[in-house]
Copies of this chain bind each other. A is one copy, B any other.
Amino acid sequence: MKFVMTKSTPARIAIADFLSSSAYPVDIGSIIRFLRSKNLKTNKVTVYRTIDFLLQEDLVKRVEFGEGKYRYELQKDHHHHLICTNCKKIEDVEGEYLRDLESKIRNKKGFLVKNHSLEFFGICKQCQQ
């Protein structure tokens, strides 16, 4: 992944790398742990500010899984998440399932949907066995 940042610094490069290599949304803590594992003694404030920058540039998306904190992932094709409440694994579900619904909402309620959050909580295949 390449960011169009005004300045390219070790912290930003590492955060970009981590987001690129993460299959699923990560929280600030795991970013910091990654940076430490690379012996980059980055401050958490830098992480927050880098994420803010990426959010504003619309390179990153913020999601919530009911944990009392945010998670972040690179913008990619529209998708949602399957979150196993047992083992905490996260899977993707691709698709634009709500497009028709959003038109209906427009027609019935006059409400213009700009975006939505949709996450599924349940038990993954492995944990059912």
Digit string of A89-103 for contact with B (CB within 8 Å is 1, else 0)? 001010001100110
Report Cα–Cα, A65/B114, bound state, in Å.
14
Known A-B contacts A62-B66, A66-B62, A82-B105; the reply to A120 vs B113 at CB < 8 A is yes
- By the criterion of a CB under 8 Å from any partner CB, how many residues of chain A are at the interface? 33
Task: Tell whether A45 is near chain B: CB-to-CB under 8 Å.
Answer: no
Supposing A117-B117, A118-B117, A119-B116 touch, asked if A125 and B110 sit within 8 A by C-beta, the answer is yes
Inter-chain CA distance A119–B85, complex, in Å, is 20
Contact A116 B118 (CB under 8 A): yes
Q: Mark A63-83, 1 if CB is under 8 A from B, else 0.
A: 010101010000000000010
Which residues from chain A sit less than 8 Å from chain B, CB to CB?
62, 64, 66, 68, 70, 82, 84-85, 91, 93, 97-98, 101-102, 105, 109-125, 128
Given A82-B111, A97-B98, 10 other A-B contacts at CB below 8 A? Answer: A64-B64, A64-B117, A93-B105, A97-B101, A110-B128, A111-B122, A111-B123, A115-B121, A116-B121, A117-B118
